[in-house]
Structure 1
Amino acid sequence: MPNQLTGDPKQQDVSKFADSMSGSCLCGSITVTLKEKGLFDKPRGHLCYCANCRKVAGSYVASNLLISEDDVQIDDRNGTLTYYEDTASMSGNSVFRYFCKKDGNPVKSETKLYPGKVVIKMGMMPRIPKPEAEGFGLHKHPWQGKNEGVPVYKIKWAGPDKEEMDE
């Protein structure tokens, strides 16, 4: 049974997500619960415009949340969680991209670059926090708008080689 928290995200009051938030894949086999308190207290997560994230998201941008793996609970009631090892990353490190093998819904990514952390694919959640940054801004389409108050980085949004775009 698919998650009932779908539709207009503005109908989901963020106060009910003060302690946790859950979402599911399209078929409902996989449920992801984020157990981070205060998820909506400040900007959180990032938008990524790199080609690989766009492909995984099936869109011009992916909404991602880098979070401690200890703050994430994944329930896979029908055993549909599987992964693809993406070896075509800029860092040269594999990115393990997890998804539901029944409906194709992206769930999370893992890489050695962020030990103890996972990248949750936020499209499955009922609400998405305002992003703290945008990555791979050089890869944005010319028609894309600007998210006010959100810094845009040329390539990486985190790490020592991050460089903000000139506006």
Structure 2
Amino acid sequence: MSALSGDPKSHPDSEFADGLTGSCLCGSITVTIHDKELFTKKRGHLCHCANCRKVAGTYVAANFAIEKEKVEIKDDKGTLKTYEDWNTGSGKKVDRKFCGACGSPILSEPQLTPHMVVLKMGLFPRIPAPEFEAFAAHKHEWENTIPGLEVQYETARGGKKLGE
């Protein structure tokens, strides 16, 4: 597949029955999610916090929080780098991992939830529909709400819901 033919609609759910693999822009790092329920329900989330926006390089980050044991990372060329982010709302460190060769964000490891990783979904050919938005109160006024989105948290996941 050409790098320019990344149409997610060209990848049926059945293609990912045993897992989902993606890579950074240069291909040095691959990430595989081993989870048979990836597309059986809404799983991902969108985050509008300033740190996620900066890491994503856009107005919202498409993330996927999942248990560490379900994720396999291959770094054949040794390009995976870590930035220790202490400028967080919780005051707890988040290790933000990225490819040192092409700069693609790979994942975040929040100290607050050490058994989980937050994958950056732009790595993958197709992503699960988001179940919620975090930091929805920080959205730009021109952003639309995603149809069918179950929850919008004002700020952090699990906190006060928007409009409560």
Asked if TM exceeds 0.5, the reply is yes
Match of 2:161 in 1: 164
The CA RMSD over aligned residues, in Å, is: 1.7
Given that 1:3 and 1:26 are in contact with CA atoms closer than 8 Å, whether structure 2 keeps it comes out as: no
Given that 1:35 and 1:71 are in contact with CA atoms closer than 8 Å, whether structure 2 keeps it comes out as: yes
Match of 2:152 in 1: 152
What per-residue deviation string (whole Å, max 9, x for no partner) do you get for residues 22-72 of structure 1?
000000000000001110000002100000000000000001111011000
Match of 1:63 in 2: 62
What per-residue deviation string (whole Å, max 9, x for no partner) do you get for residues 111-144 of structure 1?
1211211000001100011101000001100000
Mapped to 1, the partners of 2:15 and 2:126 lie a distance apart of 11
Mapped to 1, the partners of 2:145 and 2:112 lie a distance apart of 28
**Mapping 1:1-167, distance limit 5 Å:** 7-150=6-149, 151-158=151-158, 162-166=159-163
Runs (4 or more) in structure 1 with deviation over 2 Å come to: 2-6
Given that 1:3 and 1:28 are in contact with CA atoms closer than 8 Å, whether structure 2 keeps it comes out as: no
TM score, norm. by length of structure 1 = 0.93
2:143 aligned partner, one-letter code: Q
Query: 1:164, CA displacement in angstroms?
Result: 1.1
Total equivalences in the alignment:
163
Mapped to 1, the partners of 2:91 and 2:142 lie a distance apart of 30
Q: Secondary structure of 1:32's match?
A: strand
2:67 aligned partner, one-letter code: S
Residue segments in structure 2 that go unaligned for 5+ positions in a row = none
Q: Secondary structure of 1:10's match?
A: helix
Identity of aligned residues (%): 52
Q: Secondary structure of 1:99's match?
A: strand
Residue segments in structure 1 that go unaligned for 5+ positions in a row = none
Mapped to 2, the partners of 1:49 and 1:130 lie a distance apart of 16
